[in-house]
Amino acid sequence: MKIALASDHAGFELKEKVKAFLEKEGYKLFDFGCFSSDSVDYPLYGVKVARAVLSQEADRGILICGTGLGMSMVANRFPGIRAALCHEPFSARMSRLHNDANILVLGGRIIGDVLAFEVVKVFLETPFEGGRHARRVEQIDALTKEA
């Protein structure tokens, strides 16, 4: 599975740790930055991961900013992206089972690295349940055509 990853400065430290964790787990990664703790604007990085997922260059995305809020707002502007801000494994699991989330968002100033690794693992390993949930996900996509 190919994973697109990006953060702003507030998520940089956690991104590096998540990256090392995923490399060890054998995932193929595309790191879209940022590459230091120097201040940057999160929309410029969120957009890269959203596009990589939409173009199918990556199967899933992971975005990290300070709270996860800004990155969620950016990613969810893109029709076809379902970005889920999750800070514990239950939400991460449900975001896959019921919402077919394709981007996981984390807040680097909120979650510790060990819990983040568990959330990431659950997010990447849980399949979409389909069935009635597929109908609901289609309804989300239909809304973006209406707007």
Assess whether 86 carries a catalytic annotation. Answer: no
Residue 10 binds ligand RB5 (CB under 6 A): yes
> Pick from 4, 6, 62, 67: which binds ligand RB5 (CB under 6 A)?
67
Nearer to ligand RB5, 72 or 96 (CB): 72
Distance CA(73)–CA(27), nearest Å, equals 26
Q: What are the C-alpha distances in Å from 105 to residues 76, 95, 142, 147?
A: 11, 11, 23, 24
Nearer to ligand RB5, 84 or 96 (CB): 84
Residue number of the CB closest to ligand RB5 reads 70
Phi, psi of 137 (to 5 degrees): -65, -40
What crossing angle do the helices spanning 89-97 and 113-125 adopt, rounded to 10°?
20
> Pick from 34, 66, 78, 91: which binds ligand RB5 (CB under 6 A)?
66
Minimum gap (Å) between residue 127 Cβ and ligand RB5: 29
Tell me which DSSP letter residue 85 carries.
Answer: E
Binding mask 23-62 for ligand RB5 (x = CB under 6 A): -------------------x--------------------
Reduced to 3 states (helix: H, G, I; strand: E, B; else coil), residue 112 is coil
Give which of 59, 71, 60 is closest to 108, Cα–Cα: 71
Q: Which residues bind ligand RB5 (CB under 6 A)?
A: 8, 10, 42, 65-67, 69-70
